[in-house]
Structures are given as structure tokens and as C-alpha cells.
Amino acid sequence: MLFDLKSRLKEGESIDLSLHFASGDVMEYVIPVKSVINGMAMDSDHKH
């Protein structure tokens, strides 16, 4: 989950994400923005 975004994310765009670790390592990713609603599987057999 992302907090304090400066603008709304739009489906089809991508964002650059950098993870900085205490060890000094940095991992960089390009993350595609997808719709949460369209990406959820509606499985009627799912039980809690």
C-alpha cells in the first residue's frame, strides 16, 4: 500500500519504486498500475 501520493495513480501507468535497506542495498522496480477491482478474482467458493 502506498501513502501520501502527490497525485492519483491511473491504470496503465507505471511508477518507479526504490527500496532502501539498512545494509545500504537499494532495489529499484518499475511497477505497473492496475485496477484493484479488475484484478480481484470473485471466487464464490471462497470460505473464511
Three-state DSSP string of 1-46: CCCCCCCCCCCCCEEEEEEECCCCCEEEEEEECCCHHHHCCCCCCC
The whole-number pLDDT of residue 33 equals 92
Distance CA 42, CA 48 (A): 14
* AA identity, residue 3: F
pLDDT at 44 over 70: no
- Inform me whether the pLDDT recorded for 1 exceeds 60: yes
Predicted confidence band at 29 (pLDDT cuts at 50, 70, 90)?
A: very high
Mean pLDDT for the chain? Answer: 83
CB 17 within 8 A of CB 28: yes
The pTM of the full predicted model, rounded to 2 decimals, is: 0.57
pLDDT for residue 18: 95
